[in-house]
Structure 1
């Protein structure tokens, strides 16, 4: 499956993306470190978490979650080049029908409208193809560029989740932004195109 708008493409992450993904990740290490999830230390008496998973382990995990219907792991291509990742995770069915979206982009192409386009593509897929009802994005308050993405798209601010995720070595507060399918009957991509 591919989602496309102009020169922006979302497609499932693949094993053969390893070189391009690792190169983009390495090149952006300092820029992304403040926003990346980390594993908290083990409680006293418990085993310390192992090393970060390898690329292959990460992709295998993402694929298993996708097959189970709990996740959509995408890479973001711009002009045919891998420039980031977007994951629709925490997909919940039943009475909730919701998911969350997380993303990162190469600093070299940030600010060009790529990420709002990618988020809009993924949200429309969640609402229109999957039939989800709600999508949320949780962002650290000090991450201005990421907040601008969801604000440009018209996500509603729902407040603060104190010490929500372990990021960059500590438990960090996150702002919650959300949309429901009823709020964008025309589609989020169409709303973004009209801005």
Structure 2
């Protein structure tokens, strides 16, 4: 999918160097909202390890990781993770964009597309996301994509040396029973 010249595609191990560069460049910008990270997280090796972890989760049906690319370089990421089937039939979404791309609708468009994927391709009933109480920009992105706040989680995430409260949001897709939303099983191979 292309959003105003930015491609949203599945993440690849080859994205590690570009992600390390953009994350390092945006380190101070994202610090108030992101968990504390080790120095290794901002390296190509650290990003390769993170991507490999996400791809393993994808293979297990527990994640759908995506990268946002402009002019051949990553400018953000959005991940559908913690996919749970059964009675819950839910997943969690996290996203970020390069500071230079904020306020341009990119995060909202990518979020809407990942929600479409969660509903139509993955077959989920709901998705959720959390933001630090003061992260009004991210809360606006969630509201524009149709999410509703459903709670407040005290001391939810450790950021900048302290535990911070987070607002919790969800988007419900349908009321179908869980079994009717499972992806179709593939027939066994012919003998």
Same fold (TM over 0.5): yes
Please name the residue that 1:156 is paired with: 148
TM-score (norm 1): 0.80
The answer (yes or no) to whether the contact 2:155–2:164 under 8 Å persists in 1 is: yes
Is 2:99 aligned against 1:107?
A: yes
Classify the secondary structure of the residue corresponding to 2:86. coil
Q: Which 10-residue stretch deviates more, 28-37 or 73-82?
A: 73-82
Gaps of 5+ in 2: 176-191
Q: Which 10-residue stretch deviates more, 73-82 or 118-127?
A: 73-82
Q: Which 10-residue stretch deviates more, 156-165 or 72-81?
A: 72-81
Superposed counterparts of 1:41-56, under 5 Å:
52=41, 54-56=46-48
Is 2:58 aligned against 1:66?
A: yes
Once the two structures are superposed, what CA deviation does each residue of 1:74-124 show, in whole Å capped at 9, x if it has no partner? Answer: 111245542101111111011111001001100111111000000000000
> How many Å apart are 1:126 and its aligned residue?
0.3
1:80 and 1:158 mapped to 2: Cα distance? 38
Please name the residue that 1:15 is paired with: 13
Q: Structure 1's 17 and 74: CA in aligned 2 closer, same or farther, altered over 3 A?
A: same
> How many Å apart are 1:159 and its aligned residue?
1.9
Q: Structure 1's 50 and 25: CA in aligned 2 closer, same or farther, altered over 3 A?
A: closer
2:90 and 2:77 mapped to 1: Cα distance? 20
Q: Which 10-residue stretch deviates more, 164-173 or 131-140?
A: 164-173
1:31 and 1:150 mapped to 2: Cα distance? 20
TM-score (norm 2): 0.82
Superposed counterparts of 1:132-147, under 5 Å:
132-147=124-139
Aligned-pair Cα RMSD in Å = 2.2
Classify the secondary structure of the residue corresponding to 2:174. helix
Gaps of 5+ in 1: 40-48, 184-195
The answer (yes or no) to whether the contact 1:99–1:136 under 8 Å persists in 2 is: yes
Q: Which 10-residue stretch deviates more, 51-60 or 88-97?
A: 51-60
Match for residue 176 of structure 1 among 156, 168, 183: 168
